[in-house]
Amino acid sequence: MKNKRYKPKLDKLYFWITVPTAVLMLALTALPLVLEPGGSWVATVLLLLCDLLVFWFLLSPLFGYVELKGGGVFIKYGFILKKEIPYEKIRGLTFGRGIISESMMSLKNAMDHVNIKYNAFDITVVSVVDNEGLVEEINKRRALFDVR
Residue 119: give its domain's CATH number.
2.30.29.30
- Tens of pLDDT along 42-79? 777 788 888 888 777 777 777 889 999 988 999 998 88
The alpha carbon torsion through 78, 80, 85, 91 (nearest 10 deg) reads -50
Give the global pTM. 0.75
Domain assignment of residue 107, given as a range: 1-148
Rg (CA), the chain: 20
- Tens of pLDDT along 70-120? 889 999 988 888 999 999 999 999 998 887 766 656 777 778 889 999 998
Residues 6+ positions from 82 with CB-CB distance below 8 Å? 74, 75, 76
**Total tally of structural domains belonging to the chain:** 1
